[in-house]
Structure 1
Amino acid sequence: MTDRMDTSMEYPSFDLQSTHLSFEERRWLFKQYYLYKLDNLIQQIGALHKAIQGYQQFSIIPASLSSSSMIAEVRLDDKHPLYYSSVVNGRTDNQIDQFRLHYQQLFQLIERIENPHLWEKFCVHRSYMRRKNDLKNLNENWLFHGTKSDNHHHIMEHGFNRSYCRDYVYYGRGVYFSRYACYSCHYSDRQDLSFLFLCRVLVGYHTIGSNDIRVPSKITLSNGKSIQADSTTDDKTPYTIVCTFHDDQNYPAYIITYMNKMN
């Protein structure tokens, strides 16, 4: 992340030219197409992360948002890079049609969430974390969050709410995110249509979580300053699960609607 993104409150947009996949990524995706059944491909949904991580994230709020708009869902068509249009470069028309038919059976809809209210709160919290932690790098990550089918509209409108945490509190009573979409998919309710968020998460300073805690423990910085950590994680390196304890610490940027073929 750059200083430009960290210090502004501009809404993130994207340079579509930066999203083309490498030859190795294209080859990997086509291997999945030929070697795996659709039922198993849901386990590889994390490949979406590769297509999104290369985006440039700066511009003003899109013109599609009027002054009266609180939230907009921008549908991405099948020629958008998130739908792997660049994957089919160099393929025959027949191969392209087969590939598109295959993945469109799985990914029904990918929408970019435009909620200026949530974005502003996220930016304010980012500034607070920088002052608290004396940080230039806030360890801001793209992470996935799976949810029940009746929760996704509430999250898009109001953001995440840690008070709704359920039985899984192994790393604390907060909101959980994962590096891997296949892990987050397990927290959907296995309806025909399932929902997955791709989020911007301010991980900041983190410690290994423990069962049922309500705030992260304190840590001591190299300069001797004692501060409260911003989040907890699992004990893996690099971490794969993040638990946050402040609702404005996370911004839901995309919602992915997909067919759940594992019912």
Structure 2
Amino acid sequence: MGLKKGIRFITLKSVGQYINFLSYVRPQKAVELSYALFSQPRIGRLYKESLPEILKNTETETFHHNEHYFQTYTWKGNETKILLVHGWESNASRWQKTLPHLQKSGSTIIAIDAPAHGQSSGKEFNVPLYAEFINKAVEKYQPTIIIGHSIGGAACVYHQYLFPNTSINKMVILGAPSDLKTLIDNYVSMLSLNTKMFSLLENRFLSHFNFRIEDFSGQKFASKFNVSGFIAHDTSDDVVAFEEGKKIASSWKNSQFIETKGLGHGMHDDELYEKVIDFLFKDSELLSS
């Protein structure tokens, strides 16, 4: 364990001990703190003055949704539209390596910034809100294809479950978690939180989002899908376990599962992208170049 990792490990453990202590004396405070740690990204913000090159020459649009706003970036092409949905502590620029592959198809490509990421508003990230952002963008742009990475993939799956009848007919899900319970369990064990904290967190999700942690499952959601899906996950993913991708694919009737090796969580790979393009366009006349 390197020094930096070691220090982070120690701080996580001591933060966990502090939260466990609070759970007895000030449970409400303990929940707020543990939920904030779980839901507030530390990196991934973007500033208009210093946008990454890849986002500079795009058409941008800011959407307002209740008290929130979110940002989209468009690379103009033909009528076929692809919506890109990034993951945790990231932003729309994470698609830099993906873009050239998708642009070969001539499609119009739109990338979105998640809640509390990129140029979107807020401090807190959560999947239900992300799904609402996605829905506003889908209504506006009418994409036929959606591609999600990591928790962005989970948000795409949840969006499809909530809004089954949109313009979307093909989905690509890369390195995505299936079950919220897996994420919470990982978080709880990372901080060594006590069982009391687990049930306090469980109640927090129930009261704020109106679902039980174990009901929030990509595997369950995907069992209702009619759209066709391409799910890929890497065996060496150390952020989201390989099993999670398999879970999502297992109940999705019209889907294919691709196992990759050695790509890690990022999933950037020319060969994989060729397979994605094949899945998206092989039956169409769009690639008649």
Q: Identify whether the pair has TM-score above 0.5, normalized to the shorter chain.
A: no
Greater RCO, CA 8 A, separation 6+:
1
TM-score, length of structure 2 as denominator length: 0.28
Normalised TM-score (structure 1): 0.30
Higher helix share: 2
Between Structure 1 and Structure 2, which shows a larger proportion of strand residues? 1
